[in-house]
Structure 1
Amino acid sequence: MSNYEKLNNTSDDDLPRNVHIKTLYKWKTDFNADSVEWCPHNGFKNIFVCGNYQLIAGAEESGIKQRVGRILLFSVSAKDGLKLELEIETAAVLDQKWCHQKINQEIILAVANSDSAIELYKLQKEHKNITLKKVNTFSFPNEDDELLILSLDWSNNKSNSEPPEIICSDSKGGVHILLLTEKELVLKASIIKFHEFETWIAGFYYWDTNIFFSGGDDCILYKYDQRVGSEPISRNRSHEAGVTSLHSNCSQEYILASGSYDEHVRIWDIRNFKCPKSEIKTPGPLWRVKWDPFSQNHILVASMLGGVHVLSGLDLMKPKIVDSYYEHGNIAYGVDWSFLTEDEVRNYPQEGNVMISSCSFYDNLLCVSKLKCDI
C-alpha cells in the first residue's frame, strides 16, 4: 500500500479536526519534509514539489555530517486526488522556488541544497507523465563540506528580467547573486559577510530588483542596492531573534513582510526602514511567510512549533490571524498557496475556495488543504 493510501484510507473519525482549514490529502514522506512550492504556470497549476532533508543517523560520529534529500513532484486532481509523479534522489533540499516567467519557453525550478549548490530543473510533460530534468548546476567553493545554501529567490516574480537572477543565502553569513545566461548559471556577486552567523533568508524587492534584503541569525535585517556596491544601505535590528523569512508584495509597492524566530510577522514600508509599519505575534517561531498570489492581502505562515496560520487585514496595516491549522505535529517548515483558481478549487472535496499545502519536519508529513479566503 502506498504512503497516500495508508493515510487516506482512514475514516473521518480517525483524523484530527480543523475548524476552518480542511485537510484534503495527506502524504507521509520517508525523509524529513521542509519545503513546498506550487507551480505558477497555466496548465501546471495543479503541480507542486515537496523538498526533503535527512541527516544520516550515526554520520556525526565520524565527524562528517551526511545529508541526503529528495525532490517529490506531486499533482492533484479532483478525480484522482494526490499523486506522486516523480521522486528524485539528491542532496538535502533546503529551499525551492519556481521561476514565475518561462525561460526559453521552459518552466524552471531552482533548488538550494546541502552540496553548496543551486540546481535548475525543467518541468516536462512526456505523454501522460510529468517529469523534472536537471538542466544546470552552480556549485560554490566548499573547503570543509559545511557550507549549506539555505534560501533562494528569483528576480522575475513580478515582471520579466533579462537575464534572470537568483539570490541565495548561506550558512556562513553570505549572500550571493547568480545570473542565468543562455548556457549556464554564473556568479555575479558575493557579499561575505555582514551577517555574523547563518543568513537564513535573502530575497529581492520585486518592484526594483536592484534592491534586495537579507536576514540572519544575528537578528539583523539588511537592505542593499546593487547600484551602489555591496555594502548594505540600511540595517534594522527590530527583530528580537533570527530573521528567517522575507517576501516582497507584488501588488503593493514598497511593502515587504518578514518573519523571525521571535514569533512576529512584521510589515515594512521599505522607504522607512527604521521601524515596521505593523507587526503581529504568532503562536510559534516563524520559518516561512508568503503573500497570497491573488489579492496579496493575506500571508500564509509556517510557525514551526505553533502550526500554520493565515493572516489578513494587511491592507489596513492591522494584521490579524483569521485561520489556523494544527494538523502538523513537529516543526511546520513549509507552506505555500496554490495558484489554482476559485472555480478549479471548488471541484475538490470540502468547503473553501483556496488550496494550500504545508509540511512538517520530524513527523515527515505533507498536507494539502482547502480554506475559505476573501481573495
Structure 2
Amino acid sequence: MELGTIQTLYTFETEYSADSVEWCPHKPHQNLFVCANYQLIENEQTGNSSKRIGKLLVFLLDADNGLKLIQSMNTSAILDQKWCHNKVNDSSVLAVATADNKVDIYQLNEQPLELKLLTSCNINSNTPENLILSLDWSTGMSNSGKLEIVCSDSKGSLHILEFNDTLNLKESWYGHEFEAWIAGFYYYDTNIVFSGGDDSLFLKFDRRTGLEPVFKNKSHEAGVTSFHSNSTKEYLVASGSYDEKIRLWDIRKMKTELNLIKMPGTLWRLKWDPFQHDKLLAACMLGGVHVVDISAEQSEIIGSYYEHKNIAYGADWSYLDNDECDKHVGKTGQCIIGSCSFYDKLLCISKVDFNT
C-alpha cells in the first residue's frame, strides 16, 4: 500500500516538550484528549538540570470549531498517562505518571468540563530522583469493581496500586537492572504483568507465584520500551524496542515471537486500535508515526506520518467512529489519531485513510 495515508487536520505548538497523547474512551467525550508535557529547567548558577516540570493540556476536537485547548494545568513533568478503560462512579478518570515519584488520579468533571485532581500516591518516598516511567490500568476487558494500576520506574522497579476513592500502593518489586521503561497488564488475566527494561529484558510475572519473573525473554537486541495487550484476541501481546522492531507474541509460548516487523525507527509506544484490534499505532521516535496492519499473514506498515521532526514519543487512536470522522472535512479517512513530539513541541491531529 502506498504510504502517506495519514494526513494532518490540526497542529498545536505546546509550550513545553510534548511526550504523551491519550484520547478519552467514553461517550459523550470521545472528542476530548489530553497531551502531557515534560520540561527540564536548568539551574542558573550551575547550568545543570535541576527541576522537571510539566503541563497537562486538555483539548476538544470539534468539526465546527476545530481544535480547542480548554484547560492547562501546571504539574510535575509527566512521562505517561492513561484513561481508565471503564468509567468510575459514572466519570472518566485519568492516571498520570510523574517525575516526582507519584501517580496522580484526575476526574473529568462535567460543568465546567475540566479535569480535577482526585488523589495521589507517592510510590517510594525513600527513593530520591525516581521517575515513574509508565503505567497501565487493569481494566482493558474487565468491568469488575477492582481497579488496579501497574507502573514502572527509573530504578527498575514495578509497582501495583489499587484505586478505590484513594490510590494505595499494594506491592512493589525489583524487575530490571536499569530503567523499567514499560509495564502492562495482560488483560485476560491481570494476575499476569509484563515489563520491559533498558537491560533488554522482556519479563512476564504471575503475581500468584511471587515476585520473581516466570519467564525471561532475551530476544530484543536493545532496551524494551513498549508493550500492549490485545483486549479481543486472547494470548496476543505486542512489544517494541530500541532495536527498531515490533514483536508479536503468544504468551503461552514466548521463546519465539509470532511475528517480527522492522520499523523505520526506535519504538516508544504501541497501541492496538480500539475498533477491530488488528492494527498497531507505533510512535517511532526519530522514525515517525506508523500504522501497522497485523491481520494479514505478513504484517505490514499501511500508513506513515513524518510531520514530527524531533522524537515522536506520543501517539493514540481516538474512539470517534467513522461518522464522526466524516464531519471533519478536507481530508479523507476512517479514523482520527493524535501524536506529539518532544523537542519541536508539536501536537498533531490527523486522519488515517485505510482505503488508499
Report TM bin, short chain. over 0.9
Please say if 1:174 is aligned against 2:160: no
Deviation at 1:231, TM superposition (A): 1.0
Any idea what SS the aligned residue of 2:324 has?
Answer: helix
Q: Is the 8 A contact 2:40 2:49 kept in 1?
A: no
In the other structure, the counterpart of 2:131 is 148
In the other structure, the counterpart of 1:135 is 118
In the other structure, the counterpart of 1:200 is 181
Picking from 252, 255, 259, the partner of 1:278 is 259
Q: 1:307-322 residue pairs with structure 2 within 5 A? A: 307-312=288-293, 314-322=294-302
In the other structure, the counterpart of 1:186 is 168
Q: Is the 8 A contact 1:155 1:161 kept in 2?
A: no
- Relative to the length of structure 2, the TM-score reads 0.96
- Residue-by-residue CA offset, 1:255-311 (whole Å, 9 max, x unaligned): 000010000000000000101100111111010011100000000000101100110
Between the aligned partners of 1:303 and 1:155, the Cα distance in structure 2 is 25
Report the AA paired with residue 109 of structure 2: Q
Q: 1:348/1:63 Cα in 2 relative to 1: closer, same or farther (>3 Å)?
A: closer
- Residue-by-residue CA offset, 1:227-275 (whole Å, 9 max, x unaligned): 1111110000100000000000011100000010000000000000101
Q: Is the 8 A contact 1:278 1:317 kept in 2?
A: no
- Residue-by-residue CA offset, 1:337-373 (whole Å, 9 max, x unaligned): 0000101101102111100000000000000000113
Between the aligned partners of 2:126 and 2:207, the Cα distance in structure 1 is 28
Please say if 1:303 is aligned against 2:288: no
In the other structure, the counterpart of 2:70 is 85
Report the AA paired with residue 201 of structure 1: I
In the other structure, the counterpart of 1:14 is none
Q: Is the 8 A contact 1:285 1:305 kept in 2?
A: yes
Deviation at 1:206, TM superposition (A): 0.5
Report the AA paired with residue 82 of structure 2: K
Deviation at 1:144, TM superposition (A): 5.6
Report the AA paired with residue 334 of structure 1: G
In the other structure, the counterpart of 1:44 is 29
Please say if 1:357 is aligned against 2:342: no
Deviation at 1:142, TM superposition (A): 3.7
Between the aligned partners of 2:20 and 2:185, the Cα distance in structure 1 is 19
In the other structure, the counterpart of 2:322 is 342
Q: 1:58-97 residue pairs with structure 2 within 5 A? A: 58=43, 61=46, 65-97=50-82
**Alignment gaps of 5+ in structure 2:** none
Deviation at 1:64, TM superposition (A): 6.2
Picking from 29, 42, 53, the partner of 2:38 is 53
Between the aligned partners of 1:89 and 1:184, the Cα distance in structure 2 is 22
Between the aligned partners of 2:296 and 2:352, the Cα distance in structure 1 is 22
Q: Is the 8 A contact 1:116 1:149 kept in 2?
A: yes
Any idea what SS the aligned residue of 1:227 has?
Answer: helix
Any idea what SS the aligned residue of 1:345 has?
Answer: helix
In the other structure, the counterpart of 1:13 is none
Between the aligned partners of 1:97 and 1:144, the Cα distance in structure 2 is 24
- Residue-by-residue CA offset, 1:190-247 (whole Å, 9 max, x unaligned): 012x311000000000011111100000000000111111111000010000000000
Q: 1:202/1:63 Cα in 2 relative to 1: closer, same or farther (>3 Å)?
A: same
Q: Is the 8 A contact 2:123 2:169 kept in 1?
A: no
**Alignment gaps of 5+ in structure 1:** 1-17
Q: 1:333/1:64 Cα in 2 relative to 1: closer, same or farther (>3 Å)?
A: closer
Please say if 1:31 is aligned against 2:16: yes
Report the AA paired with residue 170 of structure 2: K
Between the aligned partners of 1:144 and 1:272, the Cα distance in structure 2 is 36
Q: How many residues align?
A: 352
Between the aligned partners of 1:318 and 1:164, the Cα distance in structure 2 is 36
Picking from 190, 199, 220, the partner of 2:201 is 220
- Residue-by-residue CA offset, 1:314-337 (whole Å, 9 max, x unaligned): 134521111100000100000000
Between the aligned partners of 1:140 and 1:316, the Cα distance in structure 2 is 42
Deviation at 1:73, TM superposition (A): 0.2
- Relative to the length of structure 1, the TM-score reads 0.91
* Further displaced range: 142-151 or 227-236: 142-151
Q: Is the 8 A contact 2:201 2:223 kept in 1?
A: yes
Between the aligned partners of 1:123 and 1:317, the Cα distance in structure 2 is 41
Between the aligned partners of 1:373 and 1:70, the Cα distance in structure 2 is 33
Moved segments of 4+, more than 4 Å: none
Deviation at 1:62, TM superposition (A): 6.9
Between the aligned partners of 2:77 and 2:322, the Cα distance in structure 1 is 34
- Residue-by-residue CA offset, 1:44-84 (whole Å, 9 max, x unaligned): 00000000000013369376630000000000010000000
Q: 1:59/1:293 Cα in 2 relative to 1: closer, same or farther (>3 Å)?
A: farther
In the other structure, the counterpart of 1:289 is 270
Any idea what SS the aligned residue of 1:336 has?
Answer: strand
